[in-house]
Amino acid sequence: MSSERAWNLHVPKPELSKAIELNENNGFALQNRALAYSAADEPEAALADATRLIELAPENVLNYILKGSILVLLKREDELTAHVEDILRRFPHEPNIRLAVSELFYQIGADDEAQALASDTLAEGRTAAALVVSAGRRSTGEIEMQLAELDEALRIDPDFLPALLMRANTLWMEYRFDAALADAERVLKLHPGHPEAYTTKVKVLLDTNRQRDARRVIEELVENSATDARGLATAASLYERLDDISKARETAQRARELAPGDPYVRGITEHLS
């Protein structure tokens, strides 16, 4: 499924609203305005745009996931349940969609419903995506079971990004630094500039007392994120790990200038201010 990074959070709401006034069926503008409203803590307005998107393109599952994520923000569990039922009726044989809506249940705190959907999907077929969702729900006392599921997922699809990222972070938490670094490097080979992989790599280097190498890696992330606000925000948080607060604030400000409405960027910037 696509993430927020796939959408453009840089366009101001007034420009999007003007585009919608000119063409009320402008799906691109509606989608991006819904995200901008969400980032600006205006979820009711975001919900209206997401609902309109579904009316315009009922075949586009991303519009349904967007609306579901907004209902999560609004903490409307009953409406989310009805919305998920509608999604599953419209897309009955799509395991990845079932996993995506199980995550919506998980985010709103409906853990039983989330686990039921994920378990049913896994029982029907041990896909890489289903195994990663199952691994992500494991408790801290089930690390070896989590790693076993991630290993299985990567046997099915050796380049499956969510499995590589989760396994790298889990291995780091278990002090298995060489293996964690190998997974992070694999991600960066497949997806150059990926902020989460850089984060794991820096954490490993710092925990093994290689501060100079860690700084070099952060500088590489900054260089690769010239137009990526979230990449720069991640680099800012990593500079903070190096206790270089001045550089962290400078990098966070660059990110904020690129995407002032992005909630992740805003959170990092406010934390460092």
Q: What is the mean pLDDT, run by run of 10 residues, along the chain of 273 residues?
A: 42 79 90 85 91 93 92 92 92 82 86 82 80 85 94 95 95 97 96 94 97 97 93 96 96 93 89 92
Instruction: Specify the CATH superfamily of domain 192-273.
Output: Tetratricopeptide repeat domain (1.25.40.10)
Calpha distance 233→225 (Å, rounded): 9
Domain ranges of the chain: 1-91, 192-273
pLDDT value, residue 112: 83
pLDDT value, residue 7: 43
Calpha distance 224→25 (Å, rounded): 36
pLDDT value, residue 12: 58
Please report the sign of the dihedral spanned by the C-alpha atoms of residue 214, residue 215, residue 221, residue 223: negative
Whether 163 contacts 183, CB under 8 Å: no
DSSP characters for the chain?
---GGGS---S-HHHHHHHHHH-TT-HHHHHHHHHHHHHTT-HHHHHHHHHHHHHH-TT-HHHHHHHHHHHHHHT-HHHHHHHHHHHHHHSTT-HHHHHHHHHHHHHHT-HHHHHHHHHHHHHH---HHHHHHHHHT--GGGHHHHHHHHHHHHHH-TT-HHHHHHHHHHHHHTT-HHHHHHHHHHHHHHSTT-HHHHHHHHHHHHHTT-HHHHHHHHHHHHHHTTT-HHHHHHHHHHHHHTT-HHHHHHHHHHHHHH-TT-HHHHHHHHHH-
Tell me, what amino acid is at 186?
A: R
pLDDT value, residue 3: 39
Name residue, tokens 């934390």. 271
Q: Is the pTM of this model over 0.75?
A: no
Domain 1-91: which topology? 1.25.40
**Is 192-273 the same fold as 1-91?**
yes
